[in-house]
Every structure is written in C-alpha cells, then in structure tokens.
Structure 1
Amino acid sequence: MVLLETRVAPEWVDYNGHMNDAEYARVFSLAVEALMDGIGLDEKGRTQHGLTIYTLETHLCYRREAHEGQLLAVDITLLDRDAKRLHVFFSMRDDQGEQLATSEQMLMGIDRQRGRSAAFPEPVTEAIAALPWAKPDAWPAVAGRRIGIPRGVRSVATSLVAR
C-alpha cells in the first residue's frame, strides 16, 4: 500500500551528490502524516477525536542512494498494534521498485488536550484494521533487529577502513 509519492527536492541533496540522511527521515515523517490522513486522523479527525499520533521510536536503514528529482514511493506494513500503539514498517522505493531505505517505527495515539497516551477511537481502529499486515512468517528481514557491531566477522566498515 503506497502511502506517499514524492521526488527528491534539490535542497535535499548534500555535498556527496545524493539525498542527505536527514531527508530520508523527513520523507518517512511525511509518510506518517499520510498514514494519519488515511486512518482518519487528518486535521478534521484530530480535532473531532482530540487525538494525534506521536512517534516514540524509529529505526532507519539506508539501502541505496537517492538523487535529485528521483521518484520516491513509501509503502507501509503493519507489524503489530494494540489499543494505543502501532508498530509499522515503511519501505521507500524508487520508480523501478528498488528499495532505497526502510523505517521501522513505534507510533502512539496521544490525547491532544492531556498530552498523554490514549486509545484510538473506533473509526480509526477500523481504518487501522484495513492496513496491510505482515504475515508472522513474512516479516521484513530488517524489522526488529538490533544495531551493533558484529564480532568475529569482518564488517563492511572494517573493510573500508582497512583500505
């Protein structure tokens, strides 16, 4: 399910000639906004329900470079949910379907007046249920992994430094 399509803006390109790492985060943030719109938490829905979504945690993985003017399409897979939270996996692809980056995120419903966590209202819960779910045996390979330096295996970073 494609949530967002955009193109790499000239101001997103850094001194290396590709999209700056911070701009990948921007695109995934725009995807969260598109998700909110899609589940009924657009501006009208946020006012009506008194609820918004905050990002609690994100794990962004860079796979390929994106360049000025390049098409970016972000899709979503729901990994898990409860009454207040969504565990989502976004994948950014180019117009050839090549994966450029992924962002695994934990999102939470927040009562706008109290500034505290709150359950999603029924219409939003129904819209969430319609999102594409990851099948238990088909989770994205990078979802749920921890970050760390592998020991006992020559890493890519070690190979680059050794040159």
Structure 2
Amino acid sequence: MNDSEYARVFSIGVDRVMKTIGITDEFRENEQYTIYTLETHLCYLQETMEGNPLRITFQLLDHDEKRLHVFFVMEDKGGNRLATSEQMLMGIDLKERRPAPFPPVIMKKIKAIAEEDKKIERPKEAGRVIGIRRK
C-alpha cells in the first residue's frame, strides 16, 4: 500500500467514529452537522500489502465542545502495528459552514467514550512533533 492508501484507511476510521458517536448519514442530512479533519499526523511503522486484512482501533485522547483529539492504530491480523494516525477533528455546522459545538446527543456519547478511554495508556506516538533533530 502506498501512503495515500494508509490515509484512506484512517479516513474510513474517522467515518466509523462519526457513526459511533451518532453522526450518521441521516443525522448529517437532518441536522446539517458533520465533522471535518483539521490536522493529521500519520506515522508509517511497517509495510503492508494491498488486500492484507487490517484492524483499526480508535482512542479518544481529548475533547472540548467542538473538537476531538483522536488516535488510530492500524494493525495486521497478527496484531503487529503498521501505522498510527493522530488527528484533530472539528464539529461543523453545514448551514453556516463554520465550527459549531457538538449537539447534546452527540456530546453525551463523546463523554461516555472519553470516560472509558481515560483508562487506556496514552500512545507513545501521540503528540509527536515533526522536524529534523539537530545535535
């Protein structure tokens, strides 16, 4: 898989997170509300080939009234870490095309996930800064 395919897999992960918190296609259409990706840090850890089975896990690192700081891990069927994607997501009012707080029904689900994910160790790759290290 090339780099764009890794990114596409993580984009599918964001779609699944949206559905998990209640932002389904129907909700998006009826409420004119969605999530946009503001920033992504993708780390390639091991090569994988197109067609290999993959598993994507999700952890909510932080949130506020409009944003989700999330972390995905891509694994192969043996549980080997292939890539990670740390992302900042923003709730968007589609009528205004502007950031907007999560609707209460969505925030309730976000808070429940946050409570569970507090129990999980923070990934070592989270918060990395890109740059050339100088001695």
Q: Distance in 2 between matches of 1:114 and 1:80?
A: 25
Aligned equivalents of 1:134, 1:102: Cα separation in 2 = 19
Which segments of 5 or more consecutive residues in structure 2 lack a partner in the other structure? none
In the TM superposition, what are the counterparts of 1:1-163 in structure 2 within 5 Å?
19-131=1-113, 132-135=116-119, 138-152=121-135
TM-score (norm 2): 0.93
- Post-superposition CA distance 1:1-37 (Å, at most 9, x none): xxxxxxxxxxxxxxxxxx1111100000011111111
Amino acid paired to 1:81 = H
Name the Cα RMSD after superposition.
1.4
| Rounded Cα–Cα distance in structure 2 between residues aligned with 1:104 and 1:35 | 13
Distance, in Å, in 1 between the alignment partners of 2:37 and 2:60 is 15
Report deviation, 1:149: 1.4
Name the SS for the 1:53 alignment partner: strand
Matched-pair contact (CA < 8 Å) for 1:87–1:105: yes
- Provide the aligned length of Structure 1 versus Structure 2: 133
Identity %, equivalent residues = 53
Q: Alignment partner of 2:117: what SS? A: coil
Q: Return the alpha-carbon distance in structure 1 between the equivalents of residues 117 and 31 of structure 2.
A: 25
Structure showing greater radius of gyration is 1
